Amino acid sequence: GSTHPSGGCYLGSNPSPAAHMNIQIKKSTDSLAALSIARKSPHHFNSEGLEKMEKDFKTGILIGAYYENKIVGFVLFKELNDQAVELAWMAVEPKYRDSGIGTSLVKEGVKLLPKKYVVCEMKTLSEIDPDPEYARTRNFYKRLGFIPLETINPYPNWGKDNPCQIFVKVL
């Protein structure tokens, strides 16, 4: 599998347990805790990606998933223009994956965005790369209504073996 600097986000797909965990989805300023969660997924976030993520926390919209007052997952949105936002980064604590937290983060997170945004973009590793973790990632976003738009290979700053699949979702 490839590790690349993108917001290639991995999350589980089972929507039931989170409903019983009393997860709170809300805007957050806890970028250090979010970065700590991302560091636990080296397959998806290499050191270059973590550096970019750290910069993006300064200007992006951070949404956290809180369980017992502790952040256990996050999504970070970046404004692309007045009408478009990118789901740039997302991660969930390893022990809480496959619990529905990622699904809640995306579904509830987009509701917390300013109403001016009409479309959300997300980029991840293209299906040209057979990595099964990224196949799960792409399927996760497809289930949430993201539509695969195009593949760009090579994608600027992703390295030559990391083809980028761009997804979009109408908000």
Q: Return the pLDDT at 17.
A: 56
Question: What residues does 15 pair with on adjacent strands?
Answer: none
What confidence tens digit (pLDDT) does each residue in 57-99 have?
999 999 999 999 999 999 999 999 999 999 999 999 999 999 9
Query: Measured between alpha carbons, how far is 32 from 30 in angstroms, rounded to an integer?
Result: 6
DSSP secondary structure, 65-134, as one string: EEETTEEEEEEEEEE-SSSEEEEEEEEE-GGGTTSSHHHHHHHHHHHTS-TT--EEEEEEE-TTS--HHH
What confidence tens digit (pLDDT) does each residue in 13-61 have?
444 456 568 999 999 999 999 999 999 999 889 999 999 999 999 999 9
Q: Model pTM? A: 0.87
Superfamily of 17-170 according to CATH? Gcn5-related N-acetyltransferase (GNAT) (3.40.630.30)
Domain map of the chain by residue range? 17-170
Query: Measured between alpha carbons, how far is 110 from 131 in angstroms, rounded to an integer?
Result: 28
